[in-house]
Amino acid sequence: MEPEQPAQRFGAHPAALTASAPGRVNLIGEHTDYTGGLVLPMAIPFQTNVEIAHAADGMYTFHSAQFQESRVMPPSDQSPAAGNWSDYSVGVLRELQALGVRPEPFYLTVDGNVPLGSGLSSSASIEVATAMALLQHTGKHLPIPEIALLCQRAENVYVHSPCGIMDQFAITAATAGHALLLNTRDLTYQLLPMNTGELAGCVVVVVNSMVRHTVTAGSEYAQRRRELEAGQQVLRERFGVRDLGEATVEQLLACAGAMSAESLKRCRHVITENGRVREAAEAMTAGDAKRLGELMTAAHASERDDFECSVEEVDFLVDTAVQQAGCFGARLTGGGFGGCTVNLLLAGEADRFTAAIRQAYQERYGITAQTFVCEAAAGAVERAATAGSDVTAGTDVAAGRADQL
């Protein structure tokens, strides 16, 4: 059988002019998505909006309404990353070109309100919204997993940020009112309702520490990933596991002498985090807010102590949150080294909780934290379908059962 050619993977649809993609917050399952593990994110009602129109000047123009900056290039351009917001959109264009897609000249405007550098996936939101807009502009379509993987490649290859697949997949495939339990090895997923049992009376509050993080190839994030992958390789050689997604703590301890202390801690976080995600999915199915909150707080302790990706300000926000009435649990969300916490609490306590957190943080650090009460929002594909824009094919991915995850 001959390899599938790029043109065979796309179908023709009428062009459209707009696309939208949300941000996301990860309830639990951090730094597991590049080692075949489990994650449990939900989309949130921040969004990136992209408008695209045919350009008469024969150029590709990317414009940021937020920064009031433009990047203009000919279709043949092969320039490297510019080191700014435009790289996320240009990277997506590059990956489409690698698949044989040659868009007609366009003027593309990016705007939105996803907080930058906060762990809420502003970069992936730009990537997915750009991909959806370019697919419409070219009259092509791709299924959910391929859109997500294309956007991940854009960030890995062009932006040189070693992110996993969680952000792009969740932002593409999320469904309103649900969290998304994703097996990052095979991209099977399960939608979990956020309104069962005790969870029906809960809200998710995101607290932005205002401490910016930068997830780049030269960052501490990249160093943690190298340490993690070194430990994973030891486990592969010793036990034949595919990745940390199927490794056990017992196997890890048996290999402790063959890896660095740092690799041991990074791998211990990921292996135990996968276990916490499984338990969290069970708690959500049962509507057990107390247990879900306990797992979130335990996950933060593991990020702080084993993955060592938290910072003093974020630890303070988590410690303060869990002392508040009605708060079931709290943790760092996103890549770490700053950014946001995610908090699960009774809906009736949200106003009092946010006021107490903001006051305590201001008194301790002189920083005014941002707080957002969030609902589980629609992903980019659901938004497109609601708007009547058919831009993907095969939008259903085989949903894995909980016992398969």
Q: State the catalytic residues.
A: 167
Task: Give one DSSP letter per residue of 162-179, joined into a string.
Answer: ---SHHHHHHHH--TTEE
Pairing mode of beta strands 18-28, 60-64: unpaired
Q: Which residues pair with 188 in a beta bridge?
A: 183
Q: Which two tokens stand for residue 79?
A: 């320039």
Distance CA 328, CA 333 (A): 16
Distance CA 104, CA 92 (A): 15
Radius of gyration, CA atoms only, the chain:
21
- 169-181 b/e (C-beta count within 10 Å ≥ 16 → b): bbbbbbbbebbbb
Q: Which two tokens stand for residue 389?
A: 């824009």
How far is 402 from 405, CA to CA, in rounded Å? 5
Three-state SS at 374: strand
Say how far apart CA 202 and CA 163 lie, in whole Å: 30
